[in-house]
Structures are given as C-alpha cells and as structure tokens.
Amino acid sequence: MTSGPRAVLLLLLFASTLTAVGQSSPSPLFHTGTRIVLTDVTVLDGAGQPVRGLKQSDFTILDDGNRQKIKSFEAHADRAQPILADAPQKPGMYSNAALAHPPAVVNVWLLDTTTIQMVNQMYFSHELTQMVNALPADEPVAIYWRAGEMMNLLQNFTSDHTLLLAAIHKAMPRIVTQDAQYATDVDTLEQLIAALSDLPGRKNVLWFSGGSSLYMARRADETPAPGLDLRPVFDGLEAERIAIYPIDVRGLTWATSDTMRNQHGAMHEVAASTGGQAFYNNNDVQGAAGQFMATDGSFYTLTYAPDDLHHDKKWHAVDVKVKGGYRLSFRNGYFDDDSQGRSVSAPKPKRPLLADGKAAEAPNTHLEPIIFKARVVAAADLPEDAAEAGSGAEAGNGTSPGVAETTAKSVPARRVAYSIRYFVPAAAFQQSVEDGKGAVTAGAAILAVNDYGRPVAHAIQVFKLNFDAQQLQATPNGMLSLDQEIDVPKGQTYLYLAVWDTVTGRVGTLQLSLDVTKPIEKSER
C-alpha cells in the first residue's frame, strides 16, 4: 500500500492535528515524569469460564522480573449493554451520537479477506452466519472489512442480526486481488488504531484472516527489521486498549513449512502483546470466536508506575500472577518510550472511564469528540431548501449562522454527485468576535473509497462562519450547518466524514456505507 491513501485517511480521522494551534491531548497512560502502565487481565478457569470475585491482593505484577506496587484495581463483570444506534433515524441521515454514551468494552469483527482464498471464504461465511445466529439478542458488534488497501466499516455497532448478516454477505465471497499482497499486518493494525480511537475503554478485535502476512513475524521485544519500527504500533495499541484476537479461518492445516510456522508465530505474538489470544490449526472457528465473545466483559484492570524507567526505548516484559493457578491473558510488555516520541496515536478526543463504566467529566471539552449529524443525499434529489442560501441552521433551533455552499457542477454519467450537509453544535467551536459579529472557523473533509479500500474521491474545505453572537448566546444549543458536495463512481462506496475546529483541534468523525447505484428518492425522505 502506498502512503498516499493512508495519509488521506489519517487526515480525516485526525484533522485537528493539522490545524490546531498549540493544542495537544496527553495520553491517559502518561503523566509528568511518570508512566502509568495499564493492564487488562482476563482470568479463566480450567473449563475456560471467567473467574469473578478476585481481589487486588490476589494479583502480583512483575516488570522485568521486579514486583510492582498496584496503584489501582477494577473488576469488570458482564457489562451492561451500551446504547448504540442500529440505523440512521431516517434514510440519508447519519450521526455519531453513539460516542456520547461510550461503553466500557466493545467487540469488533475484522474480516481480512486479503489472505483468505475463495474456498475458505465460503466455509468461513457459513461459520460467521452461525456465529451471528448464536449471539445474544442484545450483544452489539461492529464489522470491518479489508479486501485491499484500506479497511472499511461494513456495519456499525448493532445487535440486529439481519444487519450483521447483510454485512457479512456483502464482503464474501470475494476474489482476492493481486493488490492484496500489499496489505500488511502493520498497516492493518495502524488502521485499527485510527478507526477505534474515539472510543475509550477496552476494544476486543476478532481478526479473521488466512494467516499473518509475515510482516509481523518478529517478536515484539526484538529489534525490528530494518525500516520496520514496531514501537509506534504497539504503543498505539497499548494506548487505545485494543486487544487483538487473531483467528486463522483456514482451519486444521497439516503443512509444516517455515512459512506456516512463521504465520502462526506472528499471530501468537501480536495477541500476546495486546492481551488477546490467537487461534489457529483448528476447525472450530465458531467455537473459538464464541468463547472469546463470552468472556469479553469479565476482566480486571490494574495499573502501576514502573520503578525504573529511563526512556531508552527498550522492551519491558510484564508478567501477571494470580493465586489459584488460573489461565491468564494480558499484554506481555511495553516499550519504554518517551511519551513525546509516540507518533501513531495522534492527539484525539477521549474521556477516561470510571469503575462503573461511565465516562469521567473531561476538564477540557476540546478532548471530547464533536457529536454531529450528516445528511447524505444525491444532489439531483435534494429537497428544495437545500439549494437555498440563508440561515444554514437546522429547523427550529433559533440561530442564524452563515453557510458556505459548494456550487453545482457537471458530473460524468458514470458518477453520481452527492451533497453532504453537516449539522454541528455551535458550542463545539471556539468562538471569536470580528466587527461586532461572532465567528468560527470549521473544517470539513470527505474521503470516498471502494470495496477494495482504494480512494475514489475526496474533498477538504475550511469554512468561515459569521453569526449574531448575542442571538447564539441566547440559544446555546443552536446548530451550524456546513455543505459539501462530492461525486463518486456508481457502485458500493464507503464515506469517511470529519468536521473539526481549526482553532482548538477538536474533531468529530463518522463512517458510513453508500450504495451509489440506488440514490435516495424524494419519496423516501
């Protein structure tokens, strides 16, 4: 994969880092002069069932063999189900409002078909169908898919089995393209870090593939191969609390080649380095995934401050012991990096979770994601009010901010023009006064990619909006609106949307899929 598409995606997801002036969001794992290491520990008994009711005194943490003092301890039982929207409120309207109610832990399925051959895909599709049917009625899952350069969000968090099955059938069967050979493990993990960065808490990723691409075949505590620095990847996964569960869907294999052993070794190492578990050389894919899902909400969170840190970028081995001889899963170490040297996890909005799963009040709202709505509709089918310049405010909110419009243009016959109108709370932006009027400067960006993750269109704009400051102060919940237009090829397209404050760097993102062959009709709105 070339750096271009990835750079555009990171621009959308972390646009604030390009425009913020003097703003930075410290990672929750670091404090001045001290590193706080957070470790999520899953404890299972001999039957593979989660062990509950353990106390802090039952745990021992070793850092490079030296016993550490536990600073905090939290026991997580089976979690309450998060409030997550299953679908847009109406056709063409989307929102990232689910980020306002972050869950304590989420489950993500990544279908990495870049290494799954057609025959294995057909069997795997059957296994996934059985897995969905076996899910509890209130168990939400998000499904990502990678078939080429970039992974796409097939289905956002939902417990609707019909939607989950539709997403699976959209992904497979699919012929593996020659470009798939450039889909490296490192690249996939970096994309996961970016895609899941808005969610606090633990993220369990079930990574279904046809084996490692061998780009992760070295141990995390060894010196990386020339030109391949794994420190940012593992630092980013640690900071985001992403636990990887690599699952080889090829089932029982009799091959004993070095390639196969290296693939399985790589899968084991990435799981051990993130607190997950690897599954390979076994036909019970459904059973393994089901076991991981059944234990996802029962774990213990421990933190400690290492006694001896020199920021020398060396690997520190972490070991956790529990009285009783149980089977444990946890991150097996971390790099002793200077926090300023971590480049993968760019500054982003985040609120730490409390013991009860609720988000703590952030002292600076600039660290929170911007919650917004977006109306996405074919330009030819726009409602009459969409073409009118004027208030740019959502109906009934009582504000009158200005609007930056995108002028209509001719579109080739094989492409379809879409209009995106963002509805964003005015309070999300840093406001200034110019010539007696209120003003904000907002950025908006769109990236459109196809099934194979290839960018097919993008648009980036900065909007200068003026409004009556006194009127806005009287109605603080008023909405600003921003309009963009983009034309995309006919077929299945995935849109990545971002809006941000160019002053503070606060950002909001939204991902959605769009069937361009079926534009929304007026009668559907």
Q: Which CATH superfamily is domain 35-84+103-346 in?
A: von Willebrand factor, type A domain (3.40.50.410)
Contact 16, 507 (CB under 8 A): yes
Q: How far apart are CA 408 and CA 382, in angstroms?
A: 12
Question: Domain limits of the chain?
Answer: 35-84+103-346, 366-524
Nearest to 446 by CA among 464, 428, 420, 481: 420
Q: Are 508 and 100 in contact (CB under 8 A)?
A: no
Note whether 506 and 366 are within 8 A (CB): yes
> Kind and range of the H or E element at 235?
helix 231-240
Q: For position 63, what pLDDT does the model report? A: 92
Tell me the pLDDT of the chain averaged across its residues: 75
pLDDT at 380: 67
pLDDT level of residue 6 (50, 70, 90 thresholds)? very low
> Parallel, antiparallel, or unpaired for β 105-112 and 202-209?
parallel
Q: By C-alpha distance, which of 380, 383, 387, 385 is closest to 407? A: 387
pTM flag (> 0.85): no
Q: Which of residues 2 and 491 earns the better pLDDT score?
A: 491
Burial of 303 (0-12, 13-18, 19+ CB in 10 A): middle
**Better-predicted residue by pLDDT, 467 or 130:** 130
Percent of the chain topping pLDDT 70? 70
Residue 184, pLDDT score: 82
Instruction: Report the pLDDT value the prediction gives residue 366, as an integer from 0 to 100.
Output: 55
pLDDT digits (tens, 9 = 90+) for 68-82: 999 999 988 765 455
Q: In the predicted model, is pLDDT for residue 158 greater than 80? A: yes
Answer whether the bond into residue 173 is a cis peptide, omega within 30°: yes
Residue 124's alpha-carbon distances to 128, 217, 285, in angstroms, are 6, 24, 8
CA–CA distance, 250 with 227 (Å, rounded to integer): 31
Q: At what angle do helices 231-240 and 258-274 cross, to 10 degrees?
A: 40
Most confident of the following: 26-35, 296-305, 424-433, 441-450 = 441-450
Confidence of residue 135 (pLDDT cuts 50, 70, 90): confident
**How confident is the model over 93-99, as a mean pLDDT?**
86
Q: Report pLDDT for 194.
A: 87
Token pair in block for residue 441: 């400067």
